[in-house]
């Protein structure tokens, strides 16, 4: 029996459609060669979970995510359909935990088997939970670092502002230094002749000081000779002799004050004073008598008898020394 070309083309088309169907479901993760049970899980947020992501039990792949549906009537929650192998018995209380798939990214669902003795039936709903993934942990750990980095940036901004103000001040200082340098250069330029004259005068003064030093050397030599002459005078012996003389004079004065010797007696003895006083009084009396009766002492008579006058006269006490 001869098969026509049209029949061959139709058969090949049917085979291609069947292979496309099975390939599509295999790529979706559906097990088309074995029977599975369907379970449902409701999540508030699936964090990038997609169809065909694996369902793991203790790290073993036991199923796939069949589909995801948005439930707008239930506050936009997400209904996730799971295809689990029929050989895996899920007791009541089993939890489907949504977690990260590892360092390569993606999401997986981990099954945590419940402890109830009653098994879940096909199309039952599992309890859903979310596990903090690596990104969440990194975000949690990185948040303090970000906060500190933000504070550091703010502090650096403040420091940069301070440096900016310092830069302005330094620029102003440098500008003032430039102006001062220009002023100094102008001053030197204007007074160059005076500076040259001052330098010339200083050179002359230095030369004059050298000449003066030469003239001072003989004078200093003479001063040394004078010092030697003074040393030759033996000033120490002279001073010692003067001190000895002063000591002897002190001894003499002490003897005079104590009444020793003639000078001491003249100064300290009152007997000599009294005798002298009486002598002066007698002499005064004699002079008074001579003034009143000169004829008693001087007789110049040619005729007649000498009048001797009264024998005594009153004592003149005006000359008494006290």
Kindly report, residue by residue over 84-130, the tens digit of the pLDDT: 999 999 999 999 999 987 666 689 999 999 998 899 999 999 999 98
Pairwise CA distance, residues 155 & 161, whole Å: 10
pLDDT of amino acid 179 = 81
Q: How far is CA 295 from the centre of its chain?
A: 121
Could you list the beta-strand ranges (E) of 229-289. none
Place of tokens 């975000």: 139
Q: What is the DSSP letter of 91?
A: B
Kindly report, residue by residue over 222-270, the tens digit of the pLDDT: 777 766 766 655 667 777 888 888 888 888 887 777 777 776 676 777 7
Mean pLDDT of the chain: 79
Pick the closest to residue 96 from 62, 71, 72 (CA basis).
62
Does the pLDDT value for residue 191 go beyond 80?
A: no
pLDDT of amino acid 320 = 44
pLDDT classification of 276: cutoffs 50, 70, 90:
confident
Kindly report, residue by residue over 21-64, the tens digit of the pLDDT: 877 767 765 555 557 899 999 999 998 899 999 999 999 999 99
Give CA angle at 198 (194, 201), nearest 5°.
Answer: 140
> Cα dist. 256→66, 78, 263, 275, 306 in Å?
151, 144, 6, 21, 54
Pairwise CA distance, residues 219 & 232, whole Å: 20
Pick the closest to residue 92 from 117, 123, 109, 110 (CA basis).
117
pLDDT of amino acid 78 = 94
């Amino acid at each position: 029996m001869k098969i026509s070309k049209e029949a061959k083309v139709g058969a090949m088309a049917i085979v291609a459609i069947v292979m496309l169907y099975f390939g599509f479901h295999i790529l979706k993760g559906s097990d088309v060669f074995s029977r599975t049970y369907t379970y449902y899980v409701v999540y508030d947020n699936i964090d990038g979970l997609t169809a065909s992501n694996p369902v793991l039990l203790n790290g073993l792949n036991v199923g796939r995510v069949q589909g995801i549906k948005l439930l707008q009537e239930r506050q936009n929650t997400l209904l996730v359909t799971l295809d689990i192998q029929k050989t895996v018995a899920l007791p009541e209380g089993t939890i489907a935990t949504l977690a990260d798939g590892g360092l390569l990214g993606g999401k997986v669902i981990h099954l945590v088997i419940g402890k109830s003795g009653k098994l879940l039936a096909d199309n039952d709903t599992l309890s859903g939970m979310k596990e903090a993934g690596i990104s969440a942990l990194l975000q949690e750990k990185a948040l303090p670092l970000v906060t500190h980095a933000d504070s550091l940036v703010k502090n650096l901004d403040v420091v940069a502002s301070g440096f900016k103000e310092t830069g302005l001040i330094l620029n102003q200082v440098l500008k003032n230094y430039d102006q001062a340098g220009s002023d100094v250069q102008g001053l030197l330029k204007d007074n160059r002749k005076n500076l040259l004259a001052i330098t010339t005068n200083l050179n002359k003064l230095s030369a004059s000081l050298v000449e003066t030093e030469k003239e001072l050397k003989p004078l200093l030599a003479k001063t040394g000779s004078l010092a030697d002459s003074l040393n030759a005078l033996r000033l120490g012996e002279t001073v010692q002799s003067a001190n000895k003389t002063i000591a002897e004079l002190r001894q003499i004065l002490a003897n005079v004050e104590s009444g020793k010797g003639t000078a001491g007696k003249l100064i300290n003895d009152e007997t000599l004073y009294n005798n002298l006083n009486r002598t002066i009084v007698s002499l005064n009396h004699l002079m008074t008598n001579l003034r009143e009766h000169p004829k008693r002492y001087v007789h110049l008579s040619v005729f007649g008898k000498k009048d001797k006058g009264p024998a005594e006269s009153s004592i003149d006490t005006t000359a008494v020394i006290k």
